[in-house]
Structures are given as C-alpha cells and as structure tokens.
Amino acid sequence: MSRLIVVSNRVPPPADKGASAGGLAVALQAALRDRGGLWLGWSGETAATETESEQIKTRVEGNITFSLVDLTKRDQEEYYSGFANRALWPLLHYRLDLADFDRRDTTGYFRVNAFFARILAAQIQPDDVIWVQDYHLIPLAAELRARGITNKIGFFLHIPWPPADVFFAMPWHRRLLEAFTSYDLVGFQIDYDAENFVNCLVREGLGRETSRGTFKAGEREFKIGAFPIGIETAEFTSVAVEAEHNALVKRMAVSLNNRKLIIGVDRLDYSKGIDQRMLAYERFLENTPSAHGKVTYLQVTPKSRSDVPEYAEMQREIAETAGRINGAFSDIDWVPIRYINRTVKRTTLAGLFRMADIGLVTPLRDGMNLVAKEFVAAQKPEDPGVLVLSRFAGAARELDGAVLVNPYDMESTGGAIAGAIEMPLEERIARWRSMYDQLTRYDVNYWCESFLKALETQHNVPAFGSQNPQFRQAS
C-alpha cells in the first residue's frame, strides 16, 4: 500500500494535551490510526520571525508521524484569521453578511499555501498519495503541480458549499475554482454541496462532466463526489458505556436530581446557531410552565477563533442571552441553562451524551456535524434519547430518525423540544435504531476507504442523491 500523506491546517493536540474540539482532527485521527502515514500541518504556534521558517517539528504517535510547521504572526492574521475564517468560512456557510474580502488577506492565503507546498514537496516520494483537508488549503494542489508533483492528490471539504450566486460574490472565486481542477478527486460532505460546486464550475466554463462524477478541465481530468464523513461508531459507543463510571459524569447525574437533560455541544461559532437555540429553549420554557424545575439544558461550548472580531462579538451575545434567560426563569434550586466555555474529555462527553434525554444540534448551516452522530452512538439502546437536528446540517441527509427542525424558527424548534421530551419509548427506540444502523454501516473507516478508493483507483465516485443508499432524509 502506498504511503498516505494527510495535510490539514489543524492537527490534533498531543495525546497528553487534552481534547480537540473540531470535527476534522477527531475524524482524521480515527481514519489514520489503522493505515498510518504522515500528517503535515500547522503547529498552532506563531514564530517570532517575520518570514516563515522551514524548520519542521516532528512528533510520532503510533503509526502516525506529524510534521508540523510554525507560521508567522502575519500568516496567522492573513491566512487563518483573515482569508480562511473571515472570507471563506462565512461565504461557504452562506453568510455573505459576515464575509470580509480583504486583498491583503487573500495574498497571505495564497502565500501560506505556497509555503506549505514547498515544505511538502521536499518530503513527497513517487508513490505517496496526498489527501488535502478543508478550505484553508484549496490552492495546495496547484502549488504542488507547479513544482512538478504528479502524485495522486485528493481534496476533502469538511464544510458546506453554497449555491453559485453566493460563491460568486467572492471577488477571487474564479481563481479558487481553477485551483480545484489540479486535484484528482474533490470530495464534499453531501450531494447538495457537490451539486452546488459542479454548478459553479460549469457556469464559469471551467469544467464539463464526461462520465458520472468525472470532469474535464482543459487537459486535466478529475473526479467530484460526495463522501459523508462518519465517526468511530463502535469505539464511541464503548467509551460511552465505560463513561457511566466516570466521576464527573456521576457528579452530573447527582446534580440533575432526576431532571431531564438537554445537551448541546459545539465550538463557539455563529454557524452553530447557539443563540437561536437558546431562544428556542426560551420559547419552550414560556410555552411549557410544567417543565420549569424539571429540565436542565447543558451547553458545552469551548471558545473558538477569538481573534476574529465576529466571534468575539458573538461570544458576548450568547453569554448575555444565557444570562438573561437564567435571570428570568431560575428559581432558588433550579437554573434552566448551564453554560460552560471549555472542552471536556472525550469520555466525559460520551457519558454526558448517554445520560441526556435530548441532543440539541441546531446549526444554521453545517457541513456534517459529528456531534449529532456522537450523540446517537452514545445512547442506551433500551432507553435512547431523542436527537433534535437542524435540517441545515449535512447529518440530516443521513439521520432519518432525528426530529428535524428549522433553527431560524424558534417557535417550532421550541415545540420540537416539548415533543421530544414527551416522545414514547417505542418511538424513541425505533428512531434511534434506524440511525444507529446507519452509523454502524457508514463509519469513519467507510468514509476514509471510499474516498481513498475513488482517489487511488479507476473506480467511479459513488452516485449522488437517491441512487446512493447512504443518503436518507429525516422528517
């Protein structure tokens, strides 16, 4: 088997440095654990120097070798906080209102991609297969091709892809689209994203489909497909079972005092709809006085990208909303929202999911949302909780047993919470069973193998839409 090289901006922290919040690091770690390989990325550190240092820090964990590089402060500002997280992130999450298209940041983005390509090109051997992850690194393949690299290179986008008229608002949209054509395979989370992307390509006259999922751009042929990312289902379930003995989880159970538990777990990001979720919960409390004192909503939300002004602003807003709702509804022995701003260990998280009666996963837009899948994997088969899921999460294309909601509609999301609390056991089991079977079949290994098979062989990419049994729809 050829060596796999994964490239991503974010890499997981060392095993002894705690939990990583973020789907990419969690999923790829699981995917690479068996096959092993090289993982190149940003160390998370900023160097004091003004120009990038090509010094590589190496870390070995099991059969994964991490090659990490520092960025300069300017790189971090322009490439990561700037172009990636103030232009691409809002744009690809349909938030043109929050996008900031800055020319200097754009230059920084392409410069850092060229830097990563320089570092990587020096390490590539002829048979290596390269798998580039996420929106930080779209131009990487084009930079590698310019350096004469002819290896197979795949790209997977962990976040959504919007309709063409949203994407075309980006002043440099054509340059980015062209960059995609240097890959051999471009993968998206769900069929809707892939269809939007194909539409962009075709409307810009940059590619045409020659056979199912295969496209031609000039002389280059490449594939486009949808590969919904999974979790380590069986492993997460056993962690959740074990976690029933976890001291923190037991403390939580005691503190609940027989109240129903609603749980939300997200990075503090505007795409996650946390403010809207709290407002929906407020509607539920207003409309269901009998629930006062009998339900606790735990929101675990580590801070994320605090250097980006839109994030700092949102952090304030959410804290205010939580405070206001607690001020209005609390009693001397009951607080309706417990709001925590930190990561928790994976075991604890799994245990909290298992104990919860409702998982509230209501992003305004999300590529997949692994929290939704982890919540399902952690449930007790004989008494499972209910997943209340946004129709705008990629996971809604798979988890047909969830209660689907429109997160912009607080009244009906509040109603869905009330319905979930009252849902009879038989219905909960039927809904959960269907989702769990899906997650067992399509786990993270399936995701990794199906992507790499499409990249490394002549196989077609899986079909889009209803022809692909992986896609289902909740109702």
Residues that bind ligand F6P (CB under 6 A): 10, 22-25, 134, 158-159, 267, 304-305
Strands 214-217 and 208-211: antiparallel
Q: Please pick, from the candidates 10, 302, 409, 472, the single residue that binds ligand ADP as defined by CB under 6 A.
A: 302
Residue among 265 and 295 whose Cβ is closer to ligand F6P: 265
Strands 64-72 and 57-61: antiparallel
Residue among 266 and 357 whose Cβ is closer to ligand ADP: 266
Burial 274-290 (b: 16+ CB within 10 A, else e): bbbbbbbbbbbbeebee
Least separation in angstroms between CB 230 and ligand ADP: 11
Q: Does 394 bind ligand ADP (CB under 6 A)?
A: no
Residues 6+ apart with CB under 8 A from 291: 260, 284, 285, 418, 421
Q: Does 134 bind ligand ADP (CB under 6 A)?
A: no
As annotated, the active-site residues are 158, 366
| Footprint on residues 8-67 left by ligand ADP (CB under 6 A) | 19, 21-24, 26
Q: Is the distance from CB of 92 to CB of 367 less than 8 angstroms?
A: no
Which stretch in 262-270, 323-331, 377-385, 420-428 sits in contact with ligand ADP by CB under 6 A?
262-270
Residue among 329 and 339 whose Cβ is closer to ligand ADP: 339
Burial group, residue 429, by CB count within 10 angstroms (0-12, 13-18, 19+)? middle
At 16, list the tokens. Answer: 């002894």
Q: Among residues 329, 10, 379, which one has the least CA distance to residue 158?
A: 10
Which stretch in 77-85, 109-117, 160-168, 368-376 sits in contact with ligand ADP by CB under 6 A?
368-376
Residue among 365 and 428 whose Cβ is closer to ligand F6P: 365
Q: Does 300 bind ligand ADP (CB under 6 A)?
A: yes
Q: Is the distance from CB of 45 to CB of 78 less than 8 angstroms?
A: no
Query: Out of ligand ADP, ligand F6P, none, which partner does residue 389 contact, by CB within 5 to 8 A per kind?
Result: none
- The DSSP-derived string for 141-169 is HHHHHHTT--S-EEEE--S----HHHHTT
Query: Out of ligand ADP, ligand F6P, none, which partner does residue 380 contact, by CB within 5 to 8 A per kind?
Result: none
Query: Out of ligand ADP, ligand F6P, none, which partner does residue 343 contact, by CB within 5 to 8 A per kind?
Result: ligand ADP
Residues 6+ apart with CB under 8 A from 129: 2, 3, 4, 5, 151, 152, 154, 452, 455, 456
Which stretch in 44-52, 238-246, 261-269, 444-452 sits in contact with ligand ADP by CB under 6 A?
261-269
At 14, list the tokens. Answer: 């060392």
Q: Please pick, from the candidates 246, 321, 362, 369, the single residue that binds ligand ADP as defined by CB under 6 A.
A: 369
Q: Please pick, from the candidates 371, 388, 403, 417, the single residue that binds ligand ADP as defined by CB under 6 A.
A: 371
- The DSSP-derived string for 59-110 is EEETTEEEEEEEEEHHHIIIIIIIIIIIIIHHHHTT-GGG----HHHHHHHH
Least separation in angstroms between CB 24 and ligand F6P: 4
Site string for ligand ADP, 325-364 (x = CB under 6 A): ------------------xx----x---------------
